[in-house]
Chain A
Amino acid sequence: MLRVTKKPETSSGRRFLISILAVVAALLATSVIIFILGYNPLDIYWKMLEGATATPYRLKETINKAIPLVILSLGVGIAFRMKFWNIGAEGQYYMGAFAASFLALNYFNWPAYILLPAMFIAALVAGGIWCCIPAVLKARFGTNETLVTLMMNYIAISWITYLQHGPWKDPGQFGFPKIANFEKNAILPNLFGVHIGWVIALVLVVLVYILLRYTKLGYEISVLGESVTTARYAGINVTKVMLLAVFLSGGLCGATGMIQASAIESSLSYQMSGGLGFTAIITAWLARLNPFTIIIVSFLFSILLQGGTYLQGALQIPASIAGILQGSILFCILGSEFFTQYKVSWYKAKPKNKTENKAESQGGEA
């Protein structure tokens, strides 16, 4: 029979091993589906990897997907650490992109070295404020931030849709609903072949790590995440810390919107995120909110995303296979948590020789 017992502690090495096994399990499970669809699973996995990394162009595309994912994960991660469930990265991203686009479309005569930083800051502030609205509602009226942040995504997306079909529609597109392209000085430059967002992402990783690990605010965020009563007892101004952290969380998501609008789209569109704001919730969680691990997890997820795109584009195999794989990985990793907390082992059902034991026990008593 199987026996399940609680484990006192799991070493980090073992945790890592368990995570790897979970990924292997996910690959195996997805293999079955790929097989049923009539393809060779090994072949498909290899093609995905090829499609994501084999040529410099494909690798660049993968990195282009990893950059926003890293920053969005950092953003939601800050809020998650405080146990403020910010599911609104998507909306904050669009509001950031909106603020940046407003500057790009109206002040395109500013020089790039002023316009780009201004766009970045505007995006950060817009995303931050968008995220503070649910926080204020929570602090004032005790509303549930999970619901409010989620709902505000749809408001933000609808707002961009409205702009695209209405006031911001480019007359030069002959009736096609598209917002005008940015001028050149509103577009982020490249460095080593990839837009400079990768530098921004890496700098932000370090900054967020320092913030969480070495600053008073980071410390306060952790205390607040553990227990609000303890935070109040220690004299922490709970509302202030919460708003500040939530502002940073939404701000980073907003800044991602600016980077994508400027470097990738060169415009604003209501479809530009491709659901990255939701994927970031997964990556942040899989990375256990550790900024450096976020880089690795985001990159691996980008390989999946880019590999899926390649399957569809080059081989006419549905990209949903990558989606299935993503889902299975999340499923298996979350499921594997069980093995970090419990030990499963086989055990003998009953002692073989009852009478003998009985005799022994009586002998012991005598």
Chain B
Amino acid sequence: MAYIELKNICKRFGDVQANDSMNLFINKGEIHALLGENGSGKSTLVNMLSGIYSPDSGQIFVNGEEVVFASPEEAIKRGIGMVHQHFKLAEVLTAKENIITGVKGSPFINHKKLTEQIYNIGKKYGLIINPDKKVYNMSVSEKQTVEILKVLYRGADVLILDEPTAVLTPQEIKNFFEILRNMKNEGCAIIIITHKLNEVMEISDKVTVLRKGKTINTVITKESNFQELTEMMVGRPISLAIERTQIPETDKKPLLEIKNLTVAGTDKLNALDKVSFALTTGEILGVAGIAGSGQKELCESIAGLCHAISGNILFKGEDIVGLNPRTIIRKGISMSFIPEDRLGMGLVGAMDIVDNMLLKSYQNKKGIFIDRKEGKDIAESIIEKFDINTPSVYHQVKKLSGGNIQKVLLGREINLQPQLLITAYPVRGLDIGASYNIYDALNEEKQKGVGILFIGEDLDVLLELSDRIMVLSHGKVMGIMNAADTNKEEIGMLMLGQDIAKGVAVC
């Protein structure tokens, strides 16, 4: 008998059968991956285990005893805690204060004892944190550590992690997995939701694959492989290779040239320091780097949102430094920046798809009125082209799933027929099928002669998709290589800021 058992769980939201008689069995001392595309019902299922939703039918057993959770509080009493994808922390409070928020007990805080408790829990699993650091001063991975500590402090021994690696860098992921292994060895059960296959293979003991609200199968990770899992997840065989379309050199023309671009950062260091590179038409230039190495500033300074201290940005020979965003959009430069929270920049969550289509194009029309007919046409065409799953064009964007939101954003940017497309993290949090749609779309744009600046996270993808790769570290260009002539290790070294004795230009 498994420690946690979910049997025949059904849950319906309106017209959508999110969970259709799902089964899940989890043992202690096991890392169990839930693998599935967006909308396969992963989140709904674990939300029921953690007491956020209640199932329409079906049973949940903990240690053989049937339970009914009315709230997350009751779930945590039975040792089941969830770490959400979007952190739920009070920014102005310290780690310590966040950890004890909501815990019942004495109205007074014994700081010394508390610090010791947190330190002890942390030591046990390798979670290192300064309990007195304010959350707003923390990096993403530190915030995640606080979230995990919060759950552990409440005595959870079953941890549910919803896409925990989506916001972490490769190095942070490594550490994070080490922590998970420690927890497993201490006898915790860990349920990890993800759609990154390589992570599933690396960390999990068992995988349960979900598709369209149904549990397809549970397999032992070691006995399975990439291809098998993908097929179960997508429902059909799928090619995992990204094609790199070749454009004849003679067709390439200079498009963007950046010379010694310097942008001020928040502290004494410059966010971008004398960055120089060039991009031609029909080329994908990949940008690799640890999060916060200047990628955001690079995108924003080209788009006119961020002001350069010095240097030039030449677009088809014309310097665009100092122009306002509207003028730059009109010149055919398009940026789709997918921030960590997806909706922060680029889309208006409360508006429907039609209104979001108009966000940039409405200014080009004459008169004082807004033309929604045009927006509707664009919305319909991108819904078809990118296979966006939405009840109607008038559906609020924030109510779409993450993958569909990203498709709406990228679809609009491509529809503007830009000459230069800047895209940052376009597949962040997307499932395999959706990611490949996006890679295909980018390749299609490249063939049309669009120059693409692709800021990516996954080095494998960067290597396969880009023509050249530029590595940023602390705002400096560490090197620009042909993607065909380099490898992950080399890029990884450069990302960490280490020069390598090789004949590449280090600016």
> B369: which A residues are within 8 A, CB to CB?
214-216
Residue in chain A with minimal CB distance to B398:
A226
Per-position binary interface string of chain A over residues 252-271, scored 1 when its CB falls under 8 Å from any chain B CB and 0 otherwise: 00000000000000000000
Q: Are B335 and A354 in contact (CB under 8 A)?
A: no
Is the pair A8, B14 in contact by a Cβ cutoff of 8 Å?
A: yes
**Are A226 and B349 CB-contacts (below 8 A) given A348-B68, A362-B1?**
yes
Distance of B16 from chain A, by nearest CB (Å): 9
Cβ-defined partner of A349 (8 Å) among B68, B349, B368: B68
A140 close to chain B: CB less than 8 A:
no
Q: Which residues of A contact B53 (CB under 8 A)?
A: 5-6
Contacts of B345 in A (CB 8 A): 227, 229-230, 233
For window 317-342 of B, CB contacts with A under 8 Å fall at: 324-329, 335, 337
Chain A residues lying within 8 Å of B362, measured Cβ to Cβ, are: 216, 219
Flag A354-366 by CB within 8 Å of B: 1 or 0 each. Answer: 1001100110110
The verdict on B351 contacting chain A, using a C-beta distance below 8 Å, is yes
* A350, B5: Cβ atoms closer than 8 Å: no
- Determine which residue in B326, B351, B370 has the highest number of CB atoms from chain A within 10 A of its CB, and name it: B370
**Contact between A361 and B5, CB atoms less than 8 A apart:** yes
A233 to chain B: which residues have CB within 8 Å?
A: 303, 305, 325, 335, 337, 345-346
Measured between beta carbons, the chain A residues less than 8 angstroms from B335 are 233
Does B490 reach chain A (CB closer than 8 Å)?
no
Q: Which of A3, A215, A223, A365 contacts B70 (CB 8 A)?
A: A3
Output the least CB separation between B340 and chain A (Å).
Answer: 13
B360: shortest Cβ distance to chain A, in Å?
Answer: 5
Give the contacts of B347-375 with A (CB-CB under 8 A): 347-351, 355, 358-360, 362-363, 368-370
Q: A365 near B2 (CB under 8 angstroms)?
A: yes
Q: Quick check: A226 and B368 within 8 Å, CB to CB?
A: no
Please state if A232 and B358 are interface contacts (CB–CB under 8 Å). Answer: no
Which B residues lie within 8 Å of A8 (CB)? 13-14
CA distance A2 to B54 in the complex (A): 13
Complex Cα distance, B67 from A347, in Å, reads 12
Which residues 1-21 of B sit at the A interface, judged by CB distance below 8 A? 1-2, 5, 7, 13-14
Q: Which residues of A contact B24 (CB under 8 A)?
A: none
Interface size class of A (residues with CB under 8 A): 35 or more
- Beta-carbon contact of B61 and A361 below 8 Å: yes
> A4-B71, A218-B370, A219-B355 in contact; A235/B363 too (CB < 8 A)?
yes
In this complex, how many residues of chain B approach chain A with their Cβ under 8 Å: the count is 46
Task: Assess whether B2 is in contact with A237, with CB atoms less than 8 Å apart.
Answer: no
Contact between B370 and A214, CB atoms less than 8 A apart: yes
B346/A223 in contact, CB under 8 A = no
Contacts of B52 in A (CB 8 A): 5-6
Task: Given A233-B305, A347-B54, A364-B7, answer yes or no on A354-B326 (Cβ-Cβ < 8 Å).
Answer: no
Does A361 lie within 8 Å of B66, measured CB to CB? Answer: yes
Q: Smallest distance from the beta carbon of B102 to chain A beta carbons, Å?
A: 16
Which of A232, A234, A349 lies at the interface centre, i.e. has the most chain B CB atoms within 10 A of its CB? A234
In the assembled complex, the Cα of A364 lies from the Cα of B64 at a distance in Å of: 11
| B13: min CB distance to chain A, Å | 5
Q: How far is the CB of B232 from chain A (nearest CB, A)?
A: 23
- CB within 8 A of A222: which of B61, B303, B344, B348? B348
By beta carbon, the residue of chain B nearest A353 is: B66
A230 and B347 in contact (CB under 8 A), knowing A6-B52, A217-B368, A361-B7?
Answer: yes
Q: Quick check: A237 and B54 within 8 Å, CB to CB? A: no
**Residue B350 contacts which of A226, A357, A362 (CB distance < 8 angstroms)?**
A226
Contacts of B71 in A (CB 8 A): 3-4
User: Nearest B residue to A8 by beta-carbon distance?
Assistant: B13
Known: A226-B350, A348-B68. A235 touches B1 (CB 8 A): no
Decide: A358 and B358 in contact? CB cutoff 8 A.
no
In the complex, which of the residues A5, A223, A357 contacts B359, with contact meaning CB atoms closer than 8 Å?
Answer: A223
CA distance A358 to B346 in the complex (A): 52
Given the contacts A229-B345, A347-B70, A222 and B351 also touching, CB distance less than 8 Å: yes
A351 touches B348 (CB 8 A): no
Chain B 247-285: CB-based contact to A (< 8 A → 1; otherwise 0): 000000000000000000000000000000000000000
Q: Determine whether A191 belongs to the interface, using a CB cutoff of 8 Å to chain B.
A: no
B245 within 8 A of A: no
Contact status B64-A351, CB under 8 Å: no
Q: Which single residue of chain A is at the shortest CB-CB distance from B25?
A: A365
Residues of B within 8 A of A214 (CB): 369-370
Query: Which of A6, A229, A230, A237 makes the CB contact (< 8 A) with B326?
Result: A237
Q: Is A1 an interface residue (CB 8 A)?
A: yes
Instruction: Give the residues in chain B near A216, CB-CB below 8 Å.
Output: 362-363, 368-370
Q: List 10 A-B contacts (CB under 8 A).
A: A3-B71, A9-B14, A215-B369, A222-B355, A230-B344, A233-B346, A234-B360, A361-B59, A362-B64, A364-B7
Binding site for A on B (CB under 8 A): 1-2, 5, 7, 13-14, 52-54, 59, 61, 64-66, 68, 70-71, 303, 305, 324-329, 335, 337, 343-351, 355, 358-360, 362-363, 368-370, 399
**Apart from A3-B54, A226-B349, A237-B326: 13 A-B pairs, beta carbons within 8 A:** A1-B70, A3-B70, A5-B52, A9-B14, A214-B370, A217-B368, A230-B359, A234-B359, A235-B325, A235-B327, A347-B54, A348-B68, A361-B61
Q: Which 9 A/B pairs are nearest by Cβ-Cβ distance?
A: A235-B326, A235-B325, A3-B70, A226-B348, A357-B66, A234-B359, A229-B345, A219-B370, A233-B345
